[in-house]
Every structure is written in structure tokens, then in C-alpha cells.
């Protein structure tokens, strides 16, 4: 692992590694303060109520809050909503909001994790070729379905998300294999370069499939631009198991990211295996990203916007960054989705376009100020 810190962080490191390692405060980053945890939970609650209340058909927020409480076991309340409004709330909007909370939380959590693992402020969930692999999987399923006819895949309702997941995981494996061949220590800089190479290759394969079936281009691009449209709870149930595994693994290792921030030598001296920890966290982040992308399409910049905002407001310790990124990421995506489906009503703007409009200037800001940031 010699030289990986200098290679990856040269633009963002302002002090010598020896000075950082000698600072005892680096070994004792601030814990998550209850006030910030409360703010994060409040943001999720507010975003959820607003997300299910507003749309092409608006519902009274007070009645929506009562109806949501009525869904709890043992609670019997009358919201005053009609049967049609109740169906709209429970069967359409609520699954979409819950899916937004899961997807946004996973992407933001993965972004914060990648930035800690690679010691790179520009690291993003798409770093290891996950997006390109998922895109290739979905493209293959769409072109296959159009070529064989709609009835050929009628018995496979989960074909598209499963193909996206398999493609994403395959991309991660290819990246790790390529990195191991390119450098004996599989340093973070080698992984980044391998991810770029794998993404380019898979994107070329995806373009090849699209050109072979021009009729599928519109449908493919609709998915690639990102969306949270859902017709029930199926997508939520599909993502939930992977989300649980990802969140548990990353939150249990959040202190390890703080230890890694002082350098590999110091981390090893504290009893941590830096190499193994780095790969466990990267695998967990890739699993969560793949699950999210498989049902929502490609939603960029979320993994940069939210973790950096949390770092600026609440502190740089990963015991703070990871849980708050998960909460604020979910709330952010729900509100962004609300903007996407109401700004140009009755049509709907792809949510990936909205996040790109918001994220591109933020990315430039992070790029310009990276020389003064310390992870």
C-alpha cells in the first residue's frame, strides 16, 4: 500500500502524513450528536409527509399525517380521505416515497463510504463501474424482450432489476480483477483507474446493443435518466434485503473509516487490517449501489452532494457522516423526486436530470475547493 495516500490525495492533502498521524484528535473524531440525529430523522419525516401529500393531485397534509398514523398496528383513526384518495396514498405515493428514501439513503451512504475508503473527495457510487454494469444489464433485458416479444418475459416480472444487479456486481468483480492484475497491492488509485477502464468497456457494449435495436433506445434512455416510478411495493421489497445488509455492514465499520483516515501504518498499529477493511466496505457500498440502481436507474451526484454537505455542517468524523448521509440522502431524493414530478406537470422530468442540474455546480465547487478540504 506504499504511496497510495500521496497518489490519491495529493490534490486535497494540505499537511504531511506524519503531522496528521501525530495529531491525537485524528484518532478521536467527534461522535454523532443527538441533535443532528434528531434533525436527520425530522428531515426524513417531513420529506415523507410532503412527498405523499403533493403531486398532480394534492392531499391535505394533516389528513395525510392522520392516514399514515392509521397504518400503524393498533392505531384506529379517521383521516377524512376518500377511498380513492386513500388508494392513491397507500398504493402509489407511499411506495414511491419509501423507495426514494431507500435509494437516496443507499446512494448517499455509499458515496460517503467511498470517499473514506479511497481518501478522495470526488469518489462517487459510480466509481467502480457499477452504473455502467447496471446499464448494460438493463439494456440487454430490454432488447431481448423486444426481440422475443412481450409474452416471452411475462413470467419474469423482476427481469430488469435482477439484470441490473447482476451487471453491477459483475462490473465490480471485473474492476477488482483488473486492479489485481495491474498492481500487486491493488491500491485505491489502481482501483479508480480500473473502474474507469471497466466503465468505458461496458458503456461501449451497451451502445452496441442499443444500435442493434433502435426501437428500444427510447425505453433504455428513459431508464438511464433515472426514475422512481413504481406500481406498488414490489421494488421496495426487492431493494429492502440488500439495503439492510449494506446499512448494517457500513454502520458497524464506520469507526474503522475514522481509523483509516490517520494512515495505514497507524491503523495497523491500532489492530486494524487496512486492506481487508477497505475491501469489505467497498463491497458493501457496491452492493447497496447496485440494488439502488437496479430499481431507480442512474441517479448521479447524490453521493457527492449529501456527504459533503453533512461534513460541512455536522463534522468530518465518519461516525457522523455515514448515518446522517443515509438520513439526509433519503430525504433529499424524495424532495427531488417531488420537484421532478411537479415542475413540469402533467409531464414528469427524469429525476436524474434534476440531480444533475443540482449536482454539477456542487461538483465544480468541490473540485475547486478540494485543496483546502481534509477528509
> What pLDDT shows up at residue 18?
37
pLDDT tens-digit profile of 124-158? 887 778 888 888 888 888 787 765 554 434 434 45
- The C-alpha atoms of residue 46 and residue 67 are separated, in whole angstroms, by 15
Domain range 44-372, CATH class: mainly alpha
Name the CA radius of gyration of the chain, rounded: 21
- The C-alpha atoms of residue 78 and residue 62 are separated, in whole angstroms, by 11
Sequence spans of domains, the chain:
44-372
Q: Is-contact 129 174, C-beta < 8 A?
A: yes
* Mean of per-residue pLDDT scores for the chain: 80
When pLDDT is averaged across residues 286-293 and rounded to a whole number, the result is: 86
Which of 187, 189, 322, 193 has its CA nearest to residue 258? Answer: 322
Give the DSSP letter of residue 30. Answer: P
- The C-alpha atoms of residue 309 and residue 313 are separated, in whole angstroms, by 6
When pLDDT is averaged across residues 11-28 and rounded to a whole number, the result is: 40
Percent of the chain at pLDDT > 70 equals 82
Is the confidence at residue 268, as pLDDT, over 90? no
28 pLDDT tier (thresholds 50, 70, 90)? low
- The C-alpha atoms of residue 97 and residue 236 are separated, in whole angstroms, by 10
Is the confidence at residue 181, as pLDDT, over 90? no
Residue 133 burial (10 A CB sphere; 0-12, 13-18, 19+): buried
Rounded to 5 degrees, what are φ and ψ at 124?
A: -145, 155
> What pLDDT shows up at residue 337?
93
pLDDT tens-digit profile of 63-100? 998 988 888 888 888 888 888 998 889 888 999 999 99
- The C-alpha atoms of residue 187 and residue 177 are separated, in whole angstroms, by 12
Which of 372, 337, 355 has its CA nearest to residue 51? Answer: 337
Q: Is-contact 320 36, C-beta < 8 A?
A: yes
Model pTM score: 0.83
Amino acid at each position: 500500500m506504499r504511496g497510495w495516500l500521496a497518489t490519491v490525495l495529493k490534490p486535497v492533502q494540505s499537511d504531511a502524513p506524519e503531522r496528521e498521524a501525530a495529531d491525537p484528535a485524528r484518532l478521536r473524531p467527534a461522535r454523532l450528536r443527538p441533535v443532528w440525529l434528531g434533525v436527520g430523522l425530522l428531515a426524513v419525516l417531513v420529506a415523507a409527509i410532503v412527498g405523499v401529500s403533493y403531486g398532480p393531485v394534492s392531499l391535505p397534509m394533516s389528513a395525510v399525517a392522520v392516514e399514515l398514523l392509521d397504518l400503524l398496528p393498533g392505531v384506529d383513526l379517521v383521516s377524512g380521505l376518500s377511498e380513492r384518495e386513500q388508494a392513491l396514498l397507500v398504493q402509489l405515493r407511499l411506495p414511491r416515497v419509501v423507495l426514494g428514501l431507500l435509494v437516496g439513503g443507499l446512494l448517499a451512504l455509499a458515496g460517503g463510504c467511498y470517499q473514506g475508503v479511497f481518501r478522495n473527495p470526488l469518489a462517487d457510487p459510480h466509481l467502480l463501474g457499477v452504473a455502467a454494469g447496471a446499464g448494460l444489464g438493463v439494456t440487454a433485458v430490454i432488447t431481448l424482450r423486444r426481440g422475443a416479444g412481450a409474452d416471452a418475459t411475462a413470467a419474469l416480472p423482476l427481469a430488469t432489476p435482477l439484470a441490473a444487479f447482476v451487471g453491477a456486481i459483475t462490473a465490480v468483480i471485473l474492476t477488482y480483477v483488473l486492479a489485481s492484475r495491474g498492481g500487486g497491492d491493488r491500491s485505491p488509485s489502481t482501483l479508480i483507474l480500473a473502474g474507469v477502464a471497466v466503465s468505458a468497456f461496458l458503456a461501449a457494449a451497451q451502445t452496441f446493443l442499443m444500435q442493434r435495436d433502435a426501437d428500444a433506445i427510447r425505453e433504455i434512455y428513459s431508464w438511464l435518466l433515472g426514475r422512481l416510478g413504481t406500481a406498488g411495493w414490489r421494488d421496495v421489497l426487492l431493494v429492502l434485503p440488500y439495503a439492510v445488509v449494506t446499512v448494517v455492514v457500513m454502520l458497524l465499520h464506520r469507526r474503522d473509516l475514522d481509523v483509516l483516515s490517520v494512515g495505514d501504518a497507524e491503523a495497523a498499529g491500532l489492530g486494524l487490517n487496512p486492506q481487508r477493511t477497505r475491501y469489505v466496505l467497498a463491497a458493501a457500498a457496491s452492493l447497496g449501489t447496485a440494488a439502488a440502481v437496479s430499481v431507480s436507474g442512474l441517479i448521479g451526484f447524490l453521493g457527492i452532494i449529501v456527504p459533503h454537505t453533512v461534513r460541512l455542517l455536522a463534522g468530518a468524523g465518519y461516525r457522523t457522516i455515514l448515518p446522517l448521509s443515509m438520513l439526509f440522502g433519503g430525504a433529499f431524493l424524495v424532495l427531488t423526486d417531488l420537484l421532478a414530478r411537479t415542475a413540469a406537470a402533467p409531464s414528469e422530468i427524469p429525476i436524474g436530470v434534476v440531480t444533475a442540474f443540482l449536482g454539477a455546480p456542487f461538483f465544480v465547487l468541490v473540485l475547486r475547493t478540494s485543496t483546502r478540504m481534509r477528509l
